[in-house]
Amino acid sequence: MKTAKVQDLNEGDILARPITDSYGRVLLQKGVKFTNRIIQRLADFQFKYVYVQDELTEDIYPQNLLDDQVRFETIHHIRESFRAFNEQPTNLKQHQYVLEKSLNEVQKKVEEINKIIQDNDEILSIMSDLFLYDDYVYMHSLNVTVYSLALANELDYPKHKIEQIGIGALLHDLGKTQVPKAILHKPGKLTDLEFSIIKEHTVYGYDLLKQAHFLSNEVKYCVVQHHERLNGSGYPYGLVGPNIHPYAQILAVADVFDAVTTNRVYRRGMLPHEGLEILYSGSGELFRPEYVDLFRRTISIYPNGAEVELSNGAKGVICEQNKHLPDRPKVRVLENEEGKLHKSQVYEINLATSLDIMITRCNVSSINE
C-alpha cells in the first residue's frame, strides 16, 4: 500500500486501511472503492491523505508503534483525566478519589506504551494514520508521550523515572483546558495579548495538578517547565540550563518536534527532517544537545508507504527503514524522468549506500491533520 493525497484520488481507487475518528468509530472500511462523493466528503472533513491499494506496493505496510486500540484507549484516558482535573469539587474526598482513579488509568497506559517501546527493535514511527481528530491537544499529548518515553529509554533511566516522564508528558498540556478555545484554535496569527494567555497554560496546568497530592513533583515539573529553554528565553519563568528539570528538557524536544511537524488550521506541518532541523538549530541554545542527537537516531523520519521524490528525478515509495540511518531509508522506485515504470522495471534504492541521492520531497507533510 502507499499514501495518496485526497486531492489526487480517482474514482475506483481502493482504500487500503480503514478510516476512523478519534473515538475509534469506523468512517470508511478497508476495501471501499472511492467515488467522487466519498472523495469530496474526505476533503470536506479536511483529510489530506489516505492509504490506497497499489499492485507495485502491496507488500509495503506502515510501521506504526501503537495499534488503534491502544491509541484510542490512551486518548480516552487523557480526555478523562483532563476532565477530572477541571471539575469543580463539591466533595473533596470524593474528588481526590476520582483524580486518583483517573491517574491510575493514565499510569497503566504509560506502562503499556513503555513496554511496547521497549519490545520494539525498530526505529520509532508514530505516524498518525487515518484518524479524524476532534481535538489536537489529546493526540499531541499522546505523541509527545511516545517520543519522551523513547528518549527516556535511550537514556537508560530506571523504570520509575521513565513512568514519571510518561505521566508528565501525557498531562503536559493540561493547562490548555483553561485557555479560551477561540485563542487556542485561532486560524490566524496571535496578538501579543493572546500569546501571553497561551503561555499561561503551563502555570494553569501546574495549579490544577496541585490537587493531586499523590503525584510526584517531577511530574509537575514536566507540566510547568516544558516550555523553558536552556538560554533562559523560555516561559513561564525564564529558567536557564541547570535550573530546568531534565524531564522537562526531554519533553521540550518531543513537544517542539510534534508541534512543528503537525498540520494545524493556521499552517502546514513541516516535513520530519525539517522538524529535526528546527531542533538542531536550537541545540545547545534552547535544547540539550545529547537529547536532540538521541531523538534523531530514535525516530522514523520517512514512514513506510510515504511517496517521495529523489534528487535524481525518480519517484517512489518508502519500503524499508535503516535502523541507524532513519534519514536514509530504502525506496522502491516506481517512476523515473521518462515516466511510470512497468512492474518488471521497478527497482529499489538503498539510500544508506547510495549517498549521492537524497529525498527532495515527501508527502508525509500531509500527515497529522
Q: What per-residue confidence (pLDDT) applies to 23?
A: 64
C-alpha cell at 308: 517521495
Distances (CA, A) of 108 to 78, 296, 348: 12, 28, 42
Q: What per-residue confidence (pLDDT) applies to 22?
A: 60
| Fold designation for 68-298 | Hypothetical protein af1432 (1.10.3210)
- Residues whose CB is less than 8 angstroms from the CB of residue 3 and which lie 6 or more positions away in sequence, other chains included: 49, 50, 51, 52, 305, 306, 307, 363, 364, 366, 367
User: CB neighbours (10 Å) of residue 37?
Assistant: 9
What type of residue sits at position 308? V
Q: Which of 97-101, 172-176, 280-284 has the lowest mean pLDDT?
A: 97-101
Q: What per-residue confidence (pLDDT) applies to 128?
A: 46
Question: What's the CA gap between 68 and 22, in Å, rounded?
Answer: 10
Burial grade of 264 (CB within 10 A; 0-12, 13-18, 19 or more): middle
Question: What's the CA gap between 264 and 253, in Å, rounded?
Answer: 19
Q: Is the dihedral of CA 153, 159, 164, 167 positive or negative?
A: positive
Residues forming beta bridges with residue 229, ordered by sequence position: none
Q: What per-residue confidence (pLDDT) applies to 157?
A: 97
Domain boundaries, the chain: 1-53, 68-298, 303-369
Q: What per-residue confidence (pLDDT) applies to 130?
A: 44
Q: Collapsing DSSP states into helix, strand and coil, what is residue 32? A: coil
32: left (phi over 0), alpha (psi -120 to 50) or beta: beta
C-alpha cell at 321: 527503514
Whole-prediction pTM value?
A: 0.81
Q: What per-residue confidence (pLDDT) applies to 51?
A: 87
Burial grade of 366 (CB within 10 A; 0-12, 13-18, 19 or more): buried
CA atoms within 13 A on the CB side of 301: 24
Q: Collapsing DSSP states into helix, strand and coil, what is residue 52? A: strand
Q: What per-residue confidence (pLDDT) applies to 197?
A: 97
The pLDDT tens digits of the residues spanning 287-316 come to 999 999 999 888 877 878 888 999 999 999
Residue 56 has pLDDT above 80, yes or no: yes
The pLDDT tens digits of the residues spanning 57-111 come to 988 887 667 777 888 889 889 999 999 998 877 777 888 888 889 989 999 999 9
Q: What per-residue confidence (pLDDT) applies to 331?
A: 97
Average pLDDT over residues 261-284: 79
pLDDT category at 146 given cuts 50, 70, 90 is very high
CATH architecture of 1-53: Alpha-Beta Complex (3.90)
Strands (E), the chain: 2-5, 19-21, 26-28, 49-52, 131-132, 307-310, 315-320, 330-336, 339-340, 347-350, 359-362
- Residues whose CB is less than 8 angstroms from the CB of residue 331 and which lie 6 or more positions away in sequence, other chains included: 308, 310, 314, 316, 317, 318, 319, 348, 349, 351, 359
Residue 369 has pLDDT above 60, yes or no: no
Residue 148 has pLDDT above 90, yes or no: yes
Q: What per-residue confidence (pLDDT) applies to 82?
A: 92
